[in-house]
Amino acid sequence: MAAILVAPVVMLLVNSFNVAPAGQAYRFGAGNWQQAFADASAIGALWNSFALAVTRTAISLPIALALTWLIARTDMPGRGAIEILAWLSIFVPVLPLAFGWVLLLDPKFGLLNTLISNISGNKTSLFDIYGFWGITWVHLASTSIAYKVVLLAPAFRRINAATEQAARVCGATTRQTIFRITLPLLAPAVLLVTVISLVLSFESFEVELLLGQPVHLYVYSTRIYDLVNNQPSNVGEATAMAVIFLVWLVALTWIYRRAIGGRSYTTVTGREYATRPTRLGGWRWPALAACGLLFCISLAAPLTLLVIGSLMRLYGFFTVANAYTFAHWQELFADPAFLSGVRNSLMMAGLASLASMLLYSMLAYALTRYRSSALRVVDGLVWAPWAVPGVLLSLSLLWLFLATPLRTVLYGSVVGLAVAFAVRAAPLSTQLFKTSLLQIGPEVEEAARTCGAAWLRMYWRIVLPLLAPAAVTVGLITFLSAIYDISTPVLLYNANSRPLSILMLEYSFAGARERSAAIGVLLTFGVLLILLCARKLGYALARERL
């Protein structure tokens, strides 16, 4: 686990004090740190990232809690379809969706602004997609709310309905039951999702680059990207900024562990387990309508523009003659790089998801069931891969790959990319498995051991089936993240191992946004198919074992 969790961070810590130019012998000093703290733009970028992270989390968490409760704990009709839409919102590539929002809300040519101006006669644009609130809106509409719903749903489903019924027998209203019983039992999951939201907000990159740069709003990730790509490159200051982020992460981890320490959150035991939904009565259909409206605005609108953009002769020009064509789709399918990208992405994502499910379920079991000083250290270090932004994680893994005897196997190969995504998945995968294991009482395992089952048999026949929903979540998140993530593989691929996400990025920056949008459309329909199959399989396994 040290190689997976610590090595990338150690590379950054060491190089944050290396003041020698790239490619020369190490020379240590504090120059990189002095530059980082003296750089006003770097301090401003850190503050912008903090403000965006807190704002997004404060807005999205209450909405996500309400939406998850409707999906997992009530009899709202169509709740399965709403959950699928939440999954789809996470894994639709953010970069093409941002292009769709630009077509809708650009202050100069956005369709919505143009429509409002034509109706009102006011030439001043009502909406502006660029800047702080534009970035916040795109993230809320794409992943911030939906991501929390997906992560919270397994925990909501594992709450024994008997506890809620006991509260109602004692005279509690539905509102009192939610705030006095349901939410306190969900404290580990809610706090975990809050920490994850704050961390992921800091490393968000594509949307901030597209919507922040035109108005000179820079954040942590885009500032690091600029430092790495400047001529000459200033990797030293960039690594110093990464270590500053490590301090932020350690503080969040300490707060999370202090908040849940010393309490019991067990909801699945050897006793009768019930999951009867809360009846909404006359509010069933209004609740469904509200959920449907949310996803129509956040998902249907940009997806519609995504499809339209893939068919446009010139991206963003609606009034040119013969504005729509299938030529870009034909060019995409005729490009050998596309078929190679599909093959590489599937192999890479499959290997990464399988490794994550097996490795991190075992690690989470050790962290929750055993006590030792070494495991306490590992429990803190499991967050280490998130201390490294995607671009710098790619750089640190590149250094590691080149320093090992396996460099010919790892560097520039699909296997190396799979290793990178498996490393990237460590914090979220481990914490999701830990949250599920905290809800499984130890007497379930003790009963199997009493009946003579060896540990491995008990783990395979008892623990893993109970972890099926969490395992499906971990596998899907790892698989689909590997499909669309851009920053992690950006320095680790070559022409033979280029994944589909990198090809989409290359099309975008080469001025072929139409083909980039076409890849986004294909990924969206592929993701929907995978989610439908995996969801059916995961819940079937859970019902069979429970």
144-162 pLDDT, tens digit each: 898 888 888 877 776 666 6
pLDDT tier at 117, thresholds 50, 70, 90: confident
- 217, 132 Cβ separation under 8 angstroms: yes
- pLDDT of res. 340: 92
Query: What domains are defined for the chain?
Result: 2-20+43-268+280-545 (1.10.3720.10)
Distance between CA atoms of residues 523 and 517, nearest Å: 10
DSSP lists the bridge partners of residue 18 as: 28
Q: Has residue 497 got a pLDDT over 80?
A: yes
* CA-CA-CA-CA dihedral for 212, 214, 217, 218, to nearest 10: 70
CB under 8 Å to 50, separation ≥6 — which residues?
Answer: 202
CB contact burial 515-540 (16+ within 10 A = b; e otherwise): bbbbbbbbbbebbbebbeebbeebee
pLDDT tier at 3, thresholds 50, 70, 90: low
Structure token pair of residue 328: 């870009």
Mean pLDDT over 198-226 rounds to 81
DSSP H or E run through 106:
none
Structure token pair of residue 90: 């996470």
Q: Which residue has the higher pLDDT, 52 or 472?
A: 52
DSSP lists the bridge partners of residue 268 as: 440
Distance between CA atoms of residues 56 and 214, nearest Å: 21
pLDDT tier at 268, thresholds 50, 70, 90: very low
Distance between CA atoms of residues 346 and 479, nearest Å: 8
- pLDDT of res. 179: 67
Distance between CA atoms of residues 255 and 195, nearest Å: 9
Distance between CA atoms of residues 385 and 196, nearest Å: 13
CB under 8 Å to 312, separation ≥6 — which residues?
Answer: 318, 323, 324, 325, 514
- 74-78, 184-188, 212-216, 231-235: least confident range: 231-235
- pLDDT of res. 272: 46
* Closest-CA residue to 482 (of 433, 423, 533): 423
CA 97 to each of CA 141, 302, 318: distance values in angstroms, whole numbers, following the listed order = 10, 6, 18
Q: Has residue 274 got a pLDDT over 60?
A: no
- CA-based angle 49:53:54, to the nearest 5? 120
Distance between CA atoms of residues 529 and 491, nearest Å: 30
* Closest-CA residue to 240 (of 253, 254, 223): 223
pLDDT tier at 270, thresholds 50, 70, 90: very low
- pLDDT of res. 136: 92
Distance between CA atoms of residues 470 and 268, nearest Å: 14
- pLDDT of res. 178: 67
- 187-201, 203-217, 218-232, 257-271: least confident range: 257-271
Please provide the distance, in angstroms rounded to a whole number, between the alpha carbons at the two ends of the chain. 32
- 48-52, 83-87, 497-501, 532-536: least confident range: 532-536
Q: What are phi and psi of 478, to 5 degrees?
A: -65, -45
Q: Which residue has the higher pLDDT, 382 or 542?
A: 382
Mean pLDDT over 49-53 rounds to 89
Q: Has residue 273 got a pLDDT over 70?
A: no
Distance between CA atoms of residues 441 and 42, nearest Å: 47
- 148, 91 Cβ separation under 8 angstroms: no
Distance between CA atoms of residues 368 and 239, nearest Å: 33
pTM of full prediction above 0.85: no
Mean pLDDT over 39-67 rounds to 88
Q: Has residue 409 got a pLDDT over 70?
A: yes
- pLDDT of res. 22: 57
Distance between CA atoms of residues 271 and 268, nearest Å: 8
Distance between CA atoms of residues 53 and 46, nearest Å: 11
